[in-house]
């Protein structure tokens, strides 16, 4: 009975940690400019602390947030500028056609590249030390090489966002489980990549 009770306690603790990591992610995405670093920290914490049971959730989250802040924020700002450009072009084309509504086709065309990069971009930053340009090239390469997983991740993100919009009280609950699912989809690709290019990390907890 003691062994069973301990397993239940450990499982409950992991669930609570997963929900807490999701709440930290939401809170640190609210300032908008910190959303990129928050995504890095969220993925890193879920994989390391929840899946591999290494380290403490809060400490790992803020450690990853701080160490990846500059690069993640730079990438995030590039995405925001790209999205803003897409929206501006969509509205401009809509007005040229005599409509006050943005052009849906232009919006979709601009959204697709960003959507394909996002499942890999911030997890890569959280895991591997690469230069700014290399991060984008590697994220693009991984999104194409693992196109099936990329599409599933995009669909999961869209479904999650739609569900949270329709049922707002689910917002604190959904991010953690969804991140776990996404990690199972992309971790094989990330581990394959780190085996090739990550020679400086002595603590390869992700191979456990």
Domain, as residue range, for 22: 2-207
- Name the token pair of 3: 């062994």
Position 83 scores a pLDDT of: 84
pLDDT at 66: 96
Count of H-run helices and E-run strands, the chain: 8, 0
pLDDT at 21: 96
Which residues of the chain are modeled with pLDDT < 50? 1
Q: What is the pLDDT of residue 65?
A: 97
Q: What is the pLDDT of residue 101?
A: 61
Task: Record the tokens describing residue 107, joined without a space.
Answer: 């919006």
User: Rounded CA gap, 39 and 60, in Å?
Assistant: 13
pLDDT for res 104: 64
Q: What is the pLDDT of residue 203?
A: 66
Task: Kindly report, residue by residue over 124-154, the tens digit of the pLDDT.
Answer: 999 888 899 999 999 999 999 999 999 999 9
Kindly state the tokens that stand for 167.
Answer: 């049922």
In angstroms, the CA 198 to CA 56 distance is 24
pLDDT of residue 12: 86
55 touches 79 (CB < 8 A): no
Domain count, the chain: 1
Q: How far is CA 171 from CA 147, 161, 163, in A?
A: 27, 9, 8
**DSSP result, 103-136:** PHHHHHHHHHHHHHHHHHHHHHHHH----HHHHH
pLDDT at residue number 3: 61
């Amino acid at each position: 009975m003691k062994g069973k009770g301990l397993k239940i306690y450990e499982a409950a603790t992991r669930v609570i940690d997963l929900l807490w990591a999701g709440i930290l992610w939401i809170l640190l995405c609210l300032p908008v400019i910190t959303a990129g670093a928050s995504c890095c920290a969220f993925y890193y914490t879920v994989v390391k602390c929840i899946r591999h049971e290494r380290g403490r959730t809060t400490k790992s989250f803020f450690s990853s947030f701080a160490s990846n802040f500059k690069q993640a924020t730079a990438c995030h700002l590039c995405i925001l500028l790209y999205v803003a450009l897409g929206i501006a072009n969509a509205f401009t084309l809509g007005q040229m056609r005599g409509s006050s509504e943005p052009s849906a086709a232009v919006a979709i065309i601009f959204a697709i590249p960003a959507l394909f990069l996002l499942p890999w971009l911030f997890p890569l930053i959280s895991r591997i030390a690469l230069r700014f340009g290399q991060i984008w090239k590697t994220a693009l390469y991984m999104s194409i090489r693992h196109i099936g997983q990329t599409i599933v991740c995009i669909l999961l993100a869209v479904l999650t966002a739609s569900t949270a919009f329709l049922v707002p009280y689910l917002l604190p609950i959904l991010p953690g489980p969804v991140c776990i699912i996404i990690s199972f989809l992309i971790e094989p690709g990330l581990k394959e990549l780190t085996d090739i290019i990550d020679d400086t990390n002595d603590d390869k907890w992700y191979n456990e």
